[in-house]
Amino acid sequence: MFRIFKSMLVGIPISITFCDSIGYVARVDGTSMQPVFNPDRNHQDYVFLNRWIIKGDDIGLQRGDIVSLVSPKDPGQKIIKRIVGVEGDVVSTLDYKSNVVKVPQGHIWVEGDHVGHSMDSNMFGPVSMGLVTAKASSIIWPPSRWQYLKSEVPVHRLNAIITS
């Protein structure tokens, strides 16, 4: 009994530190990021969310990266979206209150890949970088979908960005 308690006493803090500093695995729910995530509605993808990459002053995120962030509409919810614009970019929106938005300093423009089926910047505007919690780096489950995630803006949005 003492050995189990001792293992837990050491293992739990190490696990918490790893998840908080390095990364963790999360299930992707919904269809907003199809076809990248959950292309088959019968199975859900699990991704590795890299927290290490967002530490420090130079976060190193770029257009095309898929990130996990706290929802600006519901702080109790985490969402996963693709960065379409970074600070200084002028983005042509898809049904936002203005047709064109300049992304302010310290903000990003995020969208789901499944146009029209996503709660994203087209609903709530530019997102503060402070809401980003991790970068999705790979699909780890199911095994048939193992892959590193590419950092690329969807083809239908390439002409929507005027870079700074």
Asked if the structure places residue 164 within a domain, the reply is: no
Asked if the structure places residue 162 within a domain, the reply is: no
Residues constituting the chain:
164
pLDDT at res. 107: 93
Name the strand (E) or helix (H) holding 162: strand 161-162
Task: Indicate which CATH number applies to the domain containing 1.
Answer: 2.10.109.10
**Residue 38 and residue 44 in contact, taking contact as beta carbons nearer than 8 Å:** yes
pLDDT by residue for the chain (164 residues), tens digit each?
A: 767 766 666 666 666 655 566 788 888 888 888 888 888 877 788 999 988 777 655 567 888 999 999 999 899 999 999 999 999 989 888 888 888 899 999 999 999 888 878 888 988 999 999 899 999 998 988 888 888 888 888 777 777 767 65
Q: What one-character-per-residue DSSP string does 4-57 give? A: HHHHHHHHHHHHHHHHHHTEEEEEPPSSTTTTTS-SSTTS--EEEEESGGG-SS
Structural domains in the chain (count): 1
Active site residue ranges: 32, 81
Residue 78 belongs to domain spanning: 1-157
Asked if the structure places residue 51 within a domain, the reply is: yes
Cα 101 from Cα 93, distance rounded (Å)? 7
Cα 66 from Cα 59, distance rounded (Å)? 14
Name the strand (E) or helix (H) holding 123: helix 121-124
pLDDT at res. 59: 65
Asked if the structure places residue 163 within a domain, the reply is: no
3-state secondary structure 14-29: HHHHHHHHCEEEEECC
Asked if the structure places residue 42 within a domain, the reply is: yes
Overall pTM > 0.75? yes
Asked if the structure places residue 105 within a domain, the reply is: yes
